C-alpha cells in the first residue's frame, strides 16, 4: 500500500503540502484493505442524508449511483461485479443532498473520501472527479476541489481523502454536494467507484439580527438594574 499528496489548493513545495490549504491524499492497496463508513453524513441509513441522484450522464454496465452511499465497499459481491459499483460515463454528475429539516443552516464538512475498487488487472480503480457545494435550498454551486488519482495502473483498490491540511473545517453551511466524474488516463477509462464518505457535523445556527437586539436589550436592562442596586447599597457618609 502506498499514498501520496496528489492535489492542493496551493502548490506543494518539495513534496510538503502548504499549511491551511485543501489537500487530497490518495492510496492504493489490495481488495478489502480500506474500510468505509456506514455512519457518515452521506450514508443512506443516517438522518443527515436526504438523497443521491444522477443528474447528468450514465451509470454504465448495470451499476447504480445508490451504491455510493450504502456503507459497503463491495456489497458482499465479487470485486469485478459492477452491480455493486457506480461506473460513470465521462462527465457524469452526481448530487448528494443532505437532510436539513433539523439543521436548517446545513453542515460543516471536514473530510470527503471517495473509494474505488475493481478486479485484478481491470485498471478501473483510478479516480478523476471534481466537487462543488451549495447552501441549503440553493441551486448555485461553488467549486471546492478536484482530484486526479489515475496513475495507479492495475491497482485494484484506491481511496482519496480530501481535507484542510490543518484539520480545520473544509467548508461550512453545506446543503448539497455535486460530484462530476471524468474518464481516467490509464486502462479502462470508466472507473468502478464504490463509496463516498462525508465527515462533518451540523452547522451552528447564526442568530438573526433581531435576536442580537433582544439579547443586547436584556443585557442593558440587567446592567442598569445592577447599577441601581449598587448605588442603593453603597454606604452613605454621615457628617
pLDDT at 96: 98
pLDDT at 50: 98
pLDDT at 237: 52
C-alpha cell at 23: 489537500
pLDDT at 188: 63
End-to-end CA distance of the chain: 90
Q: Indicate if 113 and 229 belong to the same structural domain.
A: no
Torsion of CA 111, 30, 81, 89, to 10 degrees: 50
Of all residues in the chain, the percent with pLDDT exceeding 90 is 61
Q: Indicate if 60 and 91 belong to the same structural domain.
A: yes
Q: Is residue 158 a part of any domain in this protein?
A: yes
The ranges of the chain with pLDDT < 50 are 1-19, 211-212, 215, 218, 238
**Counted domains in the chain:** 2
pLDDT at 12: 34
Total-model pTM:
0.80
C-alpha cell at 98: 443532505
Q: Indicate if 33 and 141 belong to the same structural domain.
A: yes
Inter-CA distances, 212 with 49, 79, 167, 202, 204, Å? 32, 56, 31, 22, 15
pLDDT digits (tens, 9 = 90+) for 143-170: 999 999 876 656 689 999 999 999 999 9
Give the side-chain half-sphere CA count within 13 A for 205: 10
Q: Indicate if 211 and 138 belong to the same structural domain.
A: no
Q: Indicate if 212 and 184 belong to the same structural domain.
A: no
CA nearest to 86, candidates 227, 192, 162: 192
Q: What range defines the domain where residue 219 resides? A: 207-234
Q: Is residue 239 a part of any domain in this protein?
A: no
Q: Indicate if 230 and 113 belong to the same structural domain.
A: no
Amino acid at each position: 500500500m502506498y499514498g501520496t499528496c496528489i492535489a492542493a489548493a496551493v502548490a506543494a513545495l518539495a513534496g510538503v503540502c502548504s499549511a491551511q490549504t485543501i489537500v487530497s491524499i490518495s492510496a492504493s492497496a489490495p481488495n478489502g484493505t480500506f474500510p468505509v463508513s456506514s455512519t457518515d453524513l452521506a450514508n443512506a441509513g443516517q438522518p443527515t442524508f436526504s438523497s443521491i441522484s444522477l443528474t447528468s450522464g450514465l451509470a454504465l454496465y448495470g451499476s447504480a449511483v445508490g451504491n455510493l452511499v450504502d456503507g459497503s465497499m463491495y456489497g458482499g459481491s465479487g470485486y469485478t461485479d459492477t452491480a455493486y459499483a457506480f461506473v460513470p460515463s465521462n462527465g457524469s454528475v452526481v448530487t448528494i443532498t443532505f437532510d436539513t429539516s433539523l439543521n436548517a443552516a446545513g453542515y460543516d464538512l471536514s473530510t470527503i473520501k471517495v473509494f474505488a475498487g475493481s478486479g485484478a488487472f481491470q485498471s478501473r480503480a483510478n479516480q478523476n472527479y471534481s466537487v462543488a457545494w451549495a447552501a441549503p435550498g440553493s441551486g448555485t454551486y461553488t467549486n471546492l476541489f478536484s482530484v486526479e488519482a489515475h496513475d495507479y495502473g492495475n491497482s485494484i483498490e484506491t481511496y482519496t481523502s480530501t481535507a484542510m491540511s490543518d484539520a480545520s473545517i473544509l467548508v461550512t453551511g453545506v446543503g448539497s454536494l455535486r460530484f462530476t466524474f471524468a474518464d481516467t488516463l490509464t486502462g479502462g477509462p470508466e472507473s468502478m467507484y464504490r463509496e463516498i464518505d462525508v465527515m462533518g457535523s451540523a452547522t451552528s445556527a447564526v442568530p438573526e439580527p433581531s435576536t442580537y437586539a433582544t439579547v443586547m436589550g436584556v443585557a442593558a436592562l440587567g446592567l442598569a438594574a445592577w447599577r441601581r442596586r449598587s448605588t442603593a447599597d453603597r454606604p452613605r457618609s454621615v457628617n
